[in-house]
Amino acid sequence: MYSYYFLRSMKISVPGFVAKFITTLQILQFVISASSGHTLAIFHIAGVPCDFDDNIFIPVIFMDATYLILFINFFLKSYVLGGGKAKYQSVQSKSKKTN
């Protein structure tokens, strides 16, 4: 992911499927993280011995859920519903014409 952003910051063109793939991996990362957190919570509640910190569970799940929602929202707006750079550029050009 950071390699992609580095290349883009250097104005190096990267195929569009790479960005979509990276976003998909990020979504998968947060799904796995939230799932494993919930699994540990279930084990903890069931009395299975495991290293579980009650104080950090809520903030971590909140963070994972927030990132998951943001990445899914970005994915839908950029790759499914349309928009992304082309939509942004059309809005910019319309605002320049009215000024």
Give the count of domains, the chain.
1
| Residue 10 counted as domain residue | no
Does residue 72 fall inside a structural domain? yes
- CA nearest neighbour of 74 among 33, 16, 32, 23: 23
Predicted confidence band of residue 60 (pLDDT cuts 50, 70, 90): confident
- Tell me if 97 is assigned to some domain: no
Q: What is the mean pLDDT of residues 27-55?
A: 88
The torsion defined by the Cα of 54, 56, 57 and 60, in degrees rounded to 10, comes to 180
The answer to whether 75 and 27 are in contact (CB under 8 A) is: yes
Where is 50: in which H helix or E strand?
Answer: none
pLDDT of residue 72: 94
Instruction: Identify the domain containing residue 77 by its residue range.
Output: 19-84
What pLDDT does residue 56 have? 85
Residue 5 in domain = no
Residue 74 lies in a domain: yes
Alpha helices by DSSP H, listed for the chain, are 2-9, 16-46, 54-75, 84-98
